[in-house]
Amino acid sequence: MFVSRYWRVVFVLMLGALHLSAMRGAEDYWARALMLAHFGLFIIWQPFMRGEKRLSMLQTGAIAAVSAGILFFLNWWFLALWVSVFAGIVGGKVFLFQAPWLRRFYLLVMAYLISLLLVWIVPSALFDVPVPQELGQLAAFGLPFLFLLMLFMPAQADSAETPQIVDFFYATLLFLLFVVLVLGSFTLMRIGRLEYWEALSVSMLVIAAVLLALSIAWSPRASFGGLSMYFSRYLLSIGLPFEMWLLFLAELSQVETRPELLMKEASAGLARLPWVSGGVWHTAEHSGEFGAESKNSAEYTDKALDLRVFTRHALSPSLIWHFQLLGQLLSEFYVAKVREQTLQQQTYVQAVHETGARMTHDIKNLLQSLNVLCSAMERDPQEQPGEIVALLRRQLPVVAQRLQQTLDKLQKPQLDSGRFEMANTWWEGLKRNYRDRGVEFADGEITADIPLPKELFDSAGDNLIQNALRKRKLDEAVAVKVKFLCADAIEFSVCDSGEPVPSEILQGLLREPVHSSSGFGIGLYQTARLAEKFAFSLRLSSNEPGAVCFALRGEGRPS
pLDDT in tens, 467-520: 888 888 888 888 999 999 888 889 999 999 888 888 777 777 777 766 655 555
CA 273-277-278 angle, 5° bins: 105
Q: Both 444 and 520 in a single domain?
A: yes
Give pLDDT, residue 397. Answer: 72
pLDDT tens by residue, 211-223: 888 878 776 665 5
Q: Both 154 and 8 in a single domain?
A: yes
Give the lowest-confidence range in 283-297, 401-415, 456-470. Answer: 401-415
Give pLDDT, residue 549. Answer: 92
Q: Both 180 and 250 in a single domain?
A: no
Which of 304, 335, 366 lies at the terminal end of a domain, its last residue? Answer: 335
pLDDT tens by residue, 186-195: 888 888 888 8
| Torsion sign, CA atoms 14, 16, 18, 20 | negative
Give pLDDT, residue 135. Answer: 80
Helix residue ranges per DSSP H, 219-241: 227-235
Query: 312: burial class by Cβ within 10 Å (0-12, 13-18, 19+)?
Result: middle
164: in domain: yes
Q: Both 282 and 164 in a single domain?
A: no
Q: Write out the residue range of the structural domain in which residue 158 sits.
A: 2-218
Q: Both 187 and 313 in a single domain?
A: no
CA 320-326-332 angle, 5° bins: 140
Segment 420-441 mean pLDDT = 83
Q: What is the CATH number of the domain that holds 507?
A: 3.30.565.10
Q: Both 58 and 190 in a single domain?
A: yes
Q: Both 58 and 168 in a single domain?
A: yes
Contacts of 392 (CB under 8 A, 6+ apart): 373
The DSSP symbol for 60 reads H
CA distance 556 to 452: 9
Helix residue ranges per DSSP H, 238-295: 242-255, 259-271
496: in domain: yes
Which of 281, 307, 335 lies at the terminal end of a domain, its last residue? Answer: 335
Q: Both 164 and 265 in a single domain?
A: no
Which of 161, 188, 218 lies at the terminal end of a domain, its last residue? Answer: 218
Q: Both 128 and 209 in a single domain?
A: yes
Q: Which of 265-274, 389-398, 458-467, 550-559 has the highest mean pLDDT?
A: 458-467
165 CB-side CA count, 13 A:
13
The number of distinct structural domains making up the chain is 3
Q: Both 449 and 518 in a single domain?
A: yes
**Whole-number average pLDDT of the chain:** 79
